[in-house]
Structure 1
Amino acid sequence: MTANTASAVRYEMPRAEYPRPDWQRSEWLNLNGSWSFQFDHENHGLAAKWQEGEARTFRDEITVPFSWSSPLSGIGSNDKGIAWYGKETDWAPEDKESKVFLRFGAVDYKCDAWVNGQAVGSHTGGYGTFEFDVTDVWAAGKPNQIIVRVEDFDHAHQARGKQGYGEIRGIWQPVWLEARPQNYVRDAKFNTRIDGTVEVTATVVASIAGKAELAFSFADGEVSHRAEADLAEGSNAFRASFAIHEPKLWSPESPYLYEGEITLESAGRTDTVSTYFGVREIGTALVGDKNYRWITLNGKPVYLNGTLDQSFHPTGFFTYPTDREMQDEIYLLNRMGLNFVRIHIKPEEPRKLYWADKLGILVMEDMPCFWGDPDDAARAAYESEALEVIDRDYNHPSIFSWAMFNETWGLKTNSKAASLTSDDRLPHNYLPETQEWVRGIYRWAKELDPTRIIEDNSPCNYDHVESDLNTWHFYVNGYNELRSHVTEVVEKTYPGSTFNYIGGNTQSDAPLMNSECGNVWGIEGGAGDSDLAWHYRYMMNEFRRHDKMCGFVFTEFKDVINEFNGYYRLDGSDKQFGYEWFNPGMSVADLHSPDFVVIDAPPCRTADAGGQATIELLRSSFSDRYHGKTLQLSWELWHDNLGTRVVSESGSEAVEWNGYGVNPLASVSLTLPSQDAVAVFAVRLTSPDGRVIARNFVTFDVRGGKEQGAYEADGRIVSVPVGSYSASEWPHSWHALQDHKVNGGDTGYFAYEVELPTAEEQQAVYEIDLYFEASSKRLLKRNIGETEQAKLDISFMHGKLADPEFNANTYFMTDTERHEAKLNVRVDGVLVDTIVLPDNPADSRGVLSWHYQQESRKLEEAGSYGYLCRVALPSALTARLNDSRKFKLQLEAAEGGLALYGRNAGRYPIDIVVHCKD
């Protein structure tokens, strides 16, 4: 059989592409696909010499490279323990003198391999790439039996990371065979500087001593370097340095890669490796007169708009089903205007890192944690794993930081807790000797990779020891609470401060950034599945108020098994944030602009109609692209008046956009509308060529002070509170938001007795329009009397399944899945209209449902809102009502349920409005 290249692999083969685009040879065979498989929980296999048998004889079949616990593996068993794999192939390299290597992307946890009954190697560790030289036992032109035995027992010392969403078990990254000459390039590390200097440290392994030439050729030969070397048998270190004239720098905005080849000519053979590098420098620096550092990319400050990525897929778990899905992940991040992702407590698959390099996203890569005590076994396992990760991923220009630990997981000596007195016990049982080990790990990583930012521990317990980044985690809900918290952290951050450090250690001038934040765990019982858009906008606004802050990590990129706070659903489908309703064209990406206008105000304020308001604005710049230019800042104050958009004030001014950081802009004074309204103050920043750079907004609940409500309408208004119905009939119904919202489902009605103005108040009524805000109502399990609720404990960190329908905080955020209802409107029994209510939405448009939440740590149908419904009563019916001056209004859900929003709920400040025109 001839050599197999990536382009020749069968389409049906899972993950058919070469696994390592950063280090790729042309002659290889993909071993993904069907393998024979068998569990060996009683550990009989070795004694029975399964390793010496035929690879096809195991009784089950598994699809590699998927964890045996995942659906795509075809096994779908979460059993831990021992399993055997078998594969037969007659592949042979084209050159019979070539070496043959059996390569594994990753296997969890202990792996032993045999070829044709002969042991070829062992490896321990769940995340590192490894290989076995099988040349001496490989039979050219004959069927070769590959047998793999894996142990995965979830030992306490095992560096597992946060696997609980779906366990990594057994082979979980691609497996392949690869041919190389007798002398070959084992690895090469590229260190680059923005002046174009490239330094390479390579390792050449030689079976034949002698002269050799090592050549580097990149960018279609534009960058090239050749050097001669004398090779000794075994491992040979090689260093080279060359310069690029006018280098093209790598950044998320311009992710240029120098793609090319390393070629070794020796012993009459050529070893060619396709690889790449990016020219970029990561660092921290004091800028201007600041006494705190900022993170820099290519010598300039960069603001890190980031998110936490669990890298979990529902069918492959931590193995992506296709290369396209990895590529799409980076696209979805870029689409949000994010420039940074934190891979959570695990290293990422090399191909996904390739797409991060290629498409442009910065990566903070975590080391996987262990969950037992930090004893000798755990430390040794961790150190081995961390070394493999850094060695494997060193050349990816996208990776700017290594996070060595997360939230003190694995650093707590829980076994000693019972024996310690309260005087002896340190917070979270994080003992001094462990702190010193962490310091040692930080310094070891700095020595191993001086080109990147190293974080000792990404903390939620204020327990840094020594770090290049001063980060912290928080999950705080509520505007005032969040503002106070962030301000306190910023004020306590300065060189010499003991805040956020443990064991007598103090802060340096390391950059301050957040490394986890969100509104999921800051709510009593967790947030269930609820709108995050409202919270997210004011959180971004608060961050950008402080130029000491260099960025954030939002939890998280996609929903996972028990956390429903992603920008996207787990399947990548969209959530609707609703910002475009407030400020046309606005999306989440506007909040991530390097040049941003901060509105230093609460997300919503209660105010009197016709009153005055002053808005404080700040400019926040973490890019020099517009420095020295004049930008246009425009604003408008608008509100909705019973379905008509009214702009009451607007203005603009030219702004000189100079310098990094946060500085005040001119404040804006406003006169609020003279009626009940949700008034929106919206700003946009525009470049000299007319491109919108950033948008932002805040709102006001303007109250007219009249019993029936104050609206700009001819005639008279009668307002009927939604909670004042005279009759109702539903299988399930309830009030919410202090009786300003009523819900019923899934079929039924609310009936109201409506009193029109008397003849003395209004002589004749010629037209009657009804206005009300309504949505469908999706009944959750808790709404229909089911009460089971999972207890929140550490098992949620291990992926414990949560059903959000039991969670008291859940109100599903608007997404691509709709829940439609049909609403019949009857007046005195006569059907006057049927309205389709498209959904039961909840997002930032539910201003009043957010503004009137009673507790920040408990959500009551937060962000929920409806659609403004207008019903014109028939003329004949209106004529009769001039006599009776009253009618019965019945709002009836034929299917899909019904929610009605009153004055202090939803997005329109109205109850049921009866507009009587004369």
Structure 2
Amino acid sequence: MSTSLLNAENLYIPRPEFPHPHWQRQHWLNLNGPWSFRFDPDDEGAQNHWSTDQAVPFDAEIQVPFSWASPLSGIGKDVKGIGWYRRVVTWSPTVSGSRLFLRFGAVDYVCDVWINGCHVGSHQGGYGSFEFEVTGVWQMDGSNTILVRAEDQDHSYQARGKQGYGEIRGIWQPVWLEARPQTYIKDAKFRTYMDGRIEVAATIMADQAGTAEFTMDFADHTVRHTLTAELSAGENQLNTCFIVNDPQLWSPDTPHLYEGVLKLGGSFGLDQVATYFGIREVGTAAFGDRGYRWITLNGKPVYLNGTLDQSYHKTGYFTYPSDEEMHDEIYLMKRLGLNFVRIHIKPEEPRKLYWADKLGILVMEDMPCFWGNPDEKARQAYEQEALEVIERDYNHPSIFSWVMFNETWGLKTDPKEAGVTGDIGRQSSYLPETQEWVREKYRWAKRLDPTRIVEDNSPCNYDHVETDINTWHFYINGYEQVRAHLDDVVSKTYPGSPFNCIGGNVQSDAPLMNSECGNVWGIEGGAGDSDLAWHYRYMMNEFRKHDKLCGFVFTEFRDVINEFNGYYRLDGTGKEFGYDAFVPGMTLADLHSPDFIVLDAPPCRTISAGEQAVVPMLRSSFSDRHHGQRLTLKWELWHDDLGVRTVVDSGLLKVDWEGYGVAPLSALSLTMPDRDAVAVLAVSLMDTAGQTITRNFITFDVRSGEAGGYAAEGGGVQIPVSSFAEQTFEHHWTSIQGVKVSGAGKGRFIYDVALPGIAEQNAIYDIEILFEAGAKRVLARNIEGSIDTDMGIGAMHGADAKVEYNPNTYYMTDEEKHPSRLNVLIDGEKIGSFVLPDDPADSRGVLSWHYQPVANKLDEAGSYGYLCRLSVPVQMTAKLNRSRTFRLELEAEEGGLALYGRNAGRYPLDLLIRYNG
């Protein structure tokens, strides 16, 4: 599926692989690489005949296939307008008498092409693939000049999608030449059935009438079928059917592809196309006595664990630099246990869809939206583009759904832009006539492709018209808020309900699924760059509680330039969710298991020491793998007793795993530890072989009620971290309601410590100092103050999130570390030091999350430190036994210091001085 990294002129070729691996011919030439380039801001090229004047100087070089706005293009200028490309090529097909086609993966937006001064064609649309036959103008024995004029003016009628992260301008997908015989296979569509029946609808272009043999040869010649056809000159439609014995079905778990060739032979010669298909059926069905449907794959329910993919790269923008990076995108999704991805407001590059087919992940592919009024010009442009996309991507088994519109973008009519007069107060609105156009496009897509689920509009405004799948968006933060919202949506979802519909339309029994969620926009002013692990776990738990819900789309797969809610950073580096600190071995994939244990309880609950807590549990099954088995639920209540993992109680439950959907299990009754603690209920579901199927957890803030909080053995003094006597940092501040203190850079927090007097404690023989501390990554807002930014719709177009000024920002733990060294001094004498590896924030910061006062405003949420404990040297202990007072200094050398008190961080303690005598 690849070619040399050097072309005939010995020029380096980026993206050397065949661009459309689902439809590949043997004789082709990759035209990626350096082209001459020139901007044309005044549109003088057309008037001055640049297309025919070889002497016109082109003053720059551009790397195709990268948008001229992107760094990888070598131009890197985000300017709309006109760009001209020129390339001189010498190439002739191997087979004499072949027809020659110049093919473009995509060009944004209007494209005109000349070969040797002859105009060979025009195309409009930024995402569809297109081609021009150039046989009659190509010099087979000499050099040829290819000239491309690309114009991108960002007109409101253009189907641009969400390009604001980085504009796709001009040529932005591969360009290649392709040779074909005089009669050739133009297209073939495969419709597959679980029983192995394969229907094929092929289009043949014949230069003259005659007899031809059309052969399908797949799976190393084990699947073969031949059809003899009488062709007429011009376009011919061939329809045939064959059977695959013992069909191997395609799914994310078993992405089996039938790879092979289509051959068309006759007096004209032989045309051969390498292609593939996957056998699978997508549908919806009701199970049992339910009055609603679930999404099905191959006749069985499938729970869709999905993510929103902006498909954006920091250097290539929407063009991936290499095939390997497209492969790795799918790999990175699958390693999280995800089984599906929604490509957001754009069709995906065919090579990435190939890797989705090959590696196995379901794809929901969006049509690109326009941003102006839905007038006739916009509708025509959209319809043309949508047709190209569906026609091109029809054969990818990974694609299970087409989304025609998103969040009503481009569907609301602005009366001013539309020239409406006499109704000045009228708001932009989703007009009834536009609703009917959307219904028409939904039905049109169903006729064009009856094999897939089609959605009219993926809504955030509860405005479906007619759809195969009943989805909605929400961006809400806070456990109680998310729980109440999901309960409300589920209760309002039933056949005949007007909820989530517009214009008098009502719901059918279509499957209920979330198609966007997350806390990136569920927080006032946006979440900035903050921890998502805490929110994510309880949101997954609430989703799986509802039998009607059959999937979700989390925003998003990677961070982008102004949204930082990704599982990964933009460069692909990982984030630490911290779940394995609660349940050994637990990862994000545990939350995406088709068989899942719901803990129907808050992520953390304040409770008294020794109190009993009842935790309801449910099982959620969207796989029949373990049906009919008795599984084992292992549970454990434990807490970290200042560095010692202490199990309070544990047990095993036998669980009958029967049937799809959600059903109650026996509740757990737990007795809390008898001291201050962050207690963890950890559960693991195991199969009959003892292998773990899924893991989950909740936490409890156990409070003893004793003065000072933590019950210290022997004796102890606890000092709130905010009650320092002095500090020497240039910048310092308190957070989380005053129970966390931070200092930027180098400096000290100084505490005056008073030990018990001799009357209370006759002798003190040993002293131990314990506290929780982390480094401090200083943000711009820590120094200059925060800035509240309402980006509005600009957020969809790449507006600057001012992340370091965002009051909600506290960087989630990731692969980039920010260490600090901490020295501990008593009365000016250093007694020890610690290396604080990082300034982390993730689900391990239980108390920092639990004591957030407002759900949609974050105050260093999820931040935590490391348990620091050291013993005071014996000689100094003897001195302190006499004085009973000392000055404790916690000094950061360079990397700053954060100190966590009782209601912040990971450990339920303030600065603790333990002693015994």
Tell me the TM-score normalized by structure 2.
0.98
What SS class does the counterpart of residue 164 from structure 2 fall into? coil
* 1:635 corresponds to: 635
* 1:118 corresponds to: 118
Taking the TM superposition and a 5 Å limit, the aligned residue runs for 1:204-215 are 204-215=204-215
**Matched residues in 2 for 1:380 and 1:125: separation?**
11
Taking the TM superposition and a 5 Å limit, the aligned residue runs for 1:450-489 are 450-489=450-489
1:55 and 1:85 in contact (8 A); partners too: no
Shift of 1:605: 0.3
* 1:138 corresponds to: 138
What SS class does the counterpart of residue 697 from structure 2 fall into? strand
**Matched residues in 1 for 2:484 and 2:423: separation?**
31
Deviations 1:3-38 (A, max 9, x none): 995687579310000001100001100000000000
**Matched residues in 2 for 1:553 and 1:315: separation?**
26
**Matched residues in 2 for 1:865 and 1:118: separation?**
67
* 1:70 corresponds to: 70
In structure 2, relative to structure 1, the CA distance for the partners of 1:387 and 1:6 (3 Å cut) is farther
* 2:614 corresponds to: 614
**Matched residues in 1 for 2:843 and 2:551: separation?**
23
What SS class does the counterpart of residue 372 from structure 1 fall into? coil
What SS class does the counterpart of residue 101 from structure 1 fall into? strand
Shift of 1:803: 2.5
Shift of 1:558: 0.3
Q: Tell whether 2:686 aligns with 1:671.
A: no
2:525 and 2:789 in contact (8 A); partners too: no
Taking the TM superposition and a 5 Å limit, the aligned residue runs for 1:477-516 are 477-516=477-516
Shift of 1:791: 3.5
Shift of 1:710: 3.5
1:5 and 1:28 in contact (8 A); partners too: no
* 1:88 corresponds to: 88
* 2:188 corresponds to: 188
**Matched residues in 1 for 2:45 and 2:26: separation?**
36
RMSD: 1.6
Shift of 1:603: 0.3
2:5 and 2:12 in contact (8 A); partners too: no
* 1:871 corresponds to: 870
**Matched residues in 2 for 1:829 and 1:254: separation?**
66
Shift of 1:424: 9.8
* 1:401 corresponds to: 401
What SS class does the counterpart of residue 689 from structure 2 fall into? coil
Shift of 1:47: 1.7
**Matched residues in 2 for 1:4 and 1:862: separation?**
48
Shift of 1:788: 5.1
* 2:758 corresponds to: 759
Once the two structures are overlaid, the 10-residue window that deviates more, 667-676 or 758-767, is: 758-767
* 2:18 corresponds to: 18
1:36 and 1:56 in contact (8 A); partners too: no
**Matched residues in 2 for 1:104 and 1:906: separation?**
54
1:83 and 1:170 in contact (8 A); partners too: yes
Letter in 2 for 1:897: G
Letter in 2 for 1:582: F
2:157 and 2:373 in contact (8 A); partners too: yes
Letter in 2 for 1:384: Q
Once the two structures are overlaid, the 10-residue window that deviates more, 411-420 or 384-393, is: 411-420
**Matched residues in 2 for 1:182 and 1:801: separation?**
53
Letter in 2 for 1:460: C
2:746 and 2:895 in contact (8 A); partners too: yes
Once the two structures are overlaid, the 10-residue window that deviates more, 814-823 or 791-800, is: 791-800
Shift of 1:789: 5.2
What SS class does the counterpart of residue 573 from structure 1 fall into? coil
Deviations 1:60-108 (A, max 9, x none): 1000000000000000111111110001111100122000100000000
**Matched residues in 2 for 1:607 and 1:55: separation?**
82
Q: Tell whether 2:880 aligns with 1:881.
A: yes
* 2:48 corresponds to: 48
**Matched residues in 2 for 1:737 and 1:148: separation?**
59
Shift of 1:643: 1.1
* 1:103 corresponds to: 103
1:708 and 1:717 in contact (8 A); partners too: no
* 1:910 corresponds to: 909
* 2:577 corresponds to: 577
* 1:726 corresponds to: 725
2:770 and 2:913 in contact (8 A); partners too: yes
Taking the TM superposition and a 5 Å limit, the aligned residue runs for 1:413-452 are 413-415=413-415, 429-452=429-452
What SS class does the counterpart of residue 666 from structure 2 fall into? coil
1:35 and 1:56 in contact (8 A); partners too: no
**Matched residues in 1 for 2:642 and 2:615: separation?**
26
Letter in 1 for 2:873: P
* 1:239 corresponds to: 239
Shift of 1:425: 5.7
**Matched residues in 1 for 2:553 and 2:813: separation?**
23
* 2:805 corresponds to: 806
In structure 2, relative to structure 1, the CA distance for the partners of 1:422 and 1:697 (3 Å cut) is farther
Taking the TM superposition and a 5 Å limit, the aligned residue runs for 1:315-334 are 315-334=315-334
* 1:283 corresponds to: 283
Letter in 1 for 2:892: A
Shift of 1:714: 3.3
Tell me the TM-score normalized by structure 1.
0.98
* 2:552 corresponds to: 552
**Matched residues in 2 for 1:182 and 1:344: separation?**
39
Shift of 1:760: 2.6
1:56 and 1:88 in contact (8 A); partners too: no
* 2:591 corresponds to: 591
1:36 and 1:57 in contact (8 A); partners too: no
What SS class does the counterpart of residue 429 from structure 1 fall into? coil
**Matched residues in 2 for 1:423 and 1:525: separation?**
30
Letter in 2 for 1:802: A
2:614 and 2:668 in contact (8 A); partners too: yes
Taking the TM superposition and a 5 Å limit, the aligned residue runs for 1:648-797 are 648-711=648-711, 713-785=712-784, 787=786, 790-797=789-796
Q: Tell whether 2:155 aligns with 1:155.
A: yes
In structure 2, relative to structure 1, the CA distance for the partners of 1:47 and 1:595 (3 Å cut) is same
Shift of 1:54: 3.3
What SS class does the counterpart of residue 840 from structure 1 fall into? coil
Taking the TM superposition and a 5 Å limit, the aligned residue runs for 1:162-173 are 162-173=162-173
In structure 2, relative to structure 1, the CA distance for the partners of 1:55 and 1:812 (3 Å cut) is farther
**Matched residues in 1 for 2:709 and 2:461: separation?**
49
**Matched residues in 2 for 1:222 and 1:687: separation?**
37
1:55 and 1:145 in contact (8 A); partners too: no
1:718 and 1:915 in contact (8 A); partners too: yes
1:4 and 1:29 in contact (8 A); partners too: no
**Matched residues in 2 for 1:484 and 1:12: separation?**
57
1:747 and 1:895 in contact (8 A); partners too: yes
What SS class does the counterpart of residue 723 from structure 1 fall into? coil
1:462 and 1:501 in contact (8 A); partners too: yes
Shift of 1:826: 0.3
* 2:829 corresponds to: 830
In structure 2, relative to structure 1, the CA distance for the partners of 1:546 and 1:421 (3 Å cut) is farther
In structure 2, relative to structure 1, the CA distance for the partners of 1:4 and 1:101 (3 Å cut) is farther
**Matched residues in 2 for 1:5 and 1:399: separation?**
27
**Matched residues in 1 for 2:11 and 2:762: separation?**
79
2:776 and 2:897 in contact (8 A); partners too: yes
2:776 and 2:896 in contact (8 A); partners too: yes
2:5 and 2:14 in contact (8 A); partners too: no
Once the two structures are overlaid, the 10-residue window that deviates more, 144-153 or 260-269, is: 260-269
2:791 and 2:801 in contact (8 A); partners too: no
1:778 and 1:897 in contact (8 A); partners too: yes
1:527 and 1:809 in contact (8 A); partners too: yes
**Matched residues in 1 for 2:364 and 2:120: separation?**
35
Q: Tell whether 2:338 aligns with 1:338.
A: yes
**Matched residues in 1 for 2:823 and 2:53: separation?**
72
**Matched residues in 2 for 1:193 and 1:422: separation?**
54
Shift of 1:787: 4.8
What SS class does the counterpart of residue 45 from structure 1 fall into? helix
**Matched residues in 2 for 1:763 and 1:424: separation?**
82
Q: Tell whether 2:310 aligns with 1:310.
A: yes
Report the identity percentage: 64
